[in-house]
């Protein structure tokens, strides 16, 4: 299986999208993925608590990226005798994950497998828990990929997808320059970019994530949304994230083409530390975002 449009996109809302600026062999950037992992750390822990993986579980992360969730998974299962497999198609991501895990206490219980989610090397029913975050939407045939992930879950085990939810917000509606509602317009542009870029050439799946899990043969399908929320003073990780979130709309030509000139000028001012409108001079930013986890149980 290939991704829907590998060379033309990143994952969506949280990655840099520079062509040829430190991006990995498959277009993802381990550094920004690591920053995201730090940003979501508490949310990831809350999501994993809710999933209530059995102590000593055999777990796998499909599309592990920079490994931040893999580490949290290992923290949860390894002390009780569990094991974790980090799975990704990109050497760069497996290396980043290995580096992270080897700096901690769980190195002996985490293994690394390179391959395609569409055809994994694992036997049927290998894992108690499979987690995949923001990766399935990159697959050319998402349902085929989810079926493959479901295949490797043991009866009674869970497949969890962290996918689309309510996107990041941190600006007030009226920021004093340009037309109010900039973030609403960026959301509209995001949809157009996602459809024309990320999903281009992919098999359409015109149903929600809950239905995809059911179509993959899973039962007891459910979902839960966790909120990422932060107010000033922001951490460096949060500031970097918000900066990237805006900058991608002016740095990347495909995205820039979806904005009108007025909004592009506003974004340039927001990102200019010398401007009176520099976004991080504002005292009223409020970072919030929904993180949704969809779960199905193998029969
Ligand atoms: C957008 S990143 C998400 C990383 C991390 N899970 C997160 O939520 O931040 C997608 C990851 O999936 C990997 N990936 C994409 N398509 C894949 C495929 N078909 N098989 C295996 N890994 C894939 C990429 O190399 C990348 O590490």
Task: Tell me the per-residue pLDDT of 57-88, one tens digit each, with 9 for 90 and over.
Answer: 999 999 999 999 999 999 999 999 999 999 99
Does any ligand 1 atom lie closer than 6 A to the CB of residue 90?
yes
Task: Tell me the per-residue pLDDT of 149-197, one tens digit each, with 9 for 90 and over.
Answer: 999 999 999 999 999 889 999 999 999 999 999 999 999 999 999 888 8
Alpha-carbon distance of 177 to 191, in angstroms, equals 24
Task: Tell me the per-residue pLDDT of 212-241, one tens digit each, with 9 for 90 and over.
Answer: 999 999 999 999 999 999 999 999 999 999
Reported in sequence order, the residue ranges of 202-285 that DSSP labels E, i.e. its strands, are 219-230
pTM of the full structure: 0.91
Q: Which of 41, 116, 135, 140 to mutate to test the pocket of ligand 1 (most atoms within 8 A of CB)?
A: 135
Alpha-carbon distance of 248 to 271, in angstroms, equals 11
How far is ligand 1, taken at its centre, from the CA of residue 253, in Å? 23
Cβ pair 162, 131 in contact under 8 A: yes
Name the residue with the closest Cα to ligand 1, atom 25.
90
Q: Is residue 233 reached through a cis peptide bond, with omega within 30 degrees of 0 on the bond before it?
A: yes
Alpha-carbon distance of 8 to 202, in angstroms, equals 13
**C-beta neighbour count of 109 within 10 angstroms:** 15
Termini Cα distance of the chain:
25
Domains defined for the chain, CATH in brackets: 30-168+198-229+286-297 (3.40.50.150)
Token reading at 170: 């941190």
Least confident of 21-25, 52-56, 113-117, 239-243: 21-25
Residue with tokens 């920021």: 175
3-state secondary structure of 167: coil
């Amino acid at each position: 299986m290939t991704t829907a449009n590998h060379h033309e996109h990143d994952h969506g809302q949280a990655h840099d999208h520079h062509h040829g600026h430190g991006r990995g062999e498959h277009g993802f950037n381990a550094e920004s993925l690591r920053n995201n992992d730090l940003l979501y750390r508490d949310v990831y822990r809350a999501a994993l608590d809710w999933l209530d993986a059995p102590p000593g579980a055999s777990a796998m992360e499909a599309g592990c990226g920079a490994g931040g969730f893999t580490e949290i998974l290992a923290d949860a299962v390894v002390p009780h005798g569990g094991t974790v497999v980090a799975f990704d198609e990109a050497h760069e991501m497996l290396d980043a994950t290995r580096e992270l895990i080897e700096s901690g206490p769980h190195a002996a219980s985490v293994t690394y497998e390179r391959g395609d989610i569409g055809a994994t090397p694992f036997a049927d029913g290998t894992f108690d828990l499979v987690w995949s975050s923001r990766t399935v939407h990159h697959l050319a045939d998402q349902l085929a990929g989810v079926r493959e992930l479901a295949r490797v879950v043991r009866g009674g085990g869970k497949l969890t997808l962290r996918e689309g939810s309510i996107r990041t917000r941190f600006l007030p509606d009226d920021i004093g320059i340009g037309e109010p509602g900039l973030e609403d317009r960026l959301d509209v542009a995001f949809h157009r970019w996602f459809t024309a870029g990320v999903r281009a050439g992919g098999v359409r799946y015109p149903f929600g994530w809950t239905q995809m899990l059911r179509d993959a043969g899973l039962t007891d399908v459910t979902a839960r949304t966790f909120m990422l929320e932060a107010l000033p003073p922001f951490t460096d990780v949060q500031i970097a994230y918000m900066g990237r979130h805006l900058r991608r709309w002016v740095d990347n030509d495909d995205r820039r083409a979806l904005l009108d000139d007025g909004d592009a000028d506003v974004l340039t001012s927001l990102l200019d530390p010398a401007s009176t409108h520099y976004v991080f001079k504002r005292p009223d930013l409020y970072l919030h975002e929904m993180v949704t986890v969809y779960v199905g149980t193998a029969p």
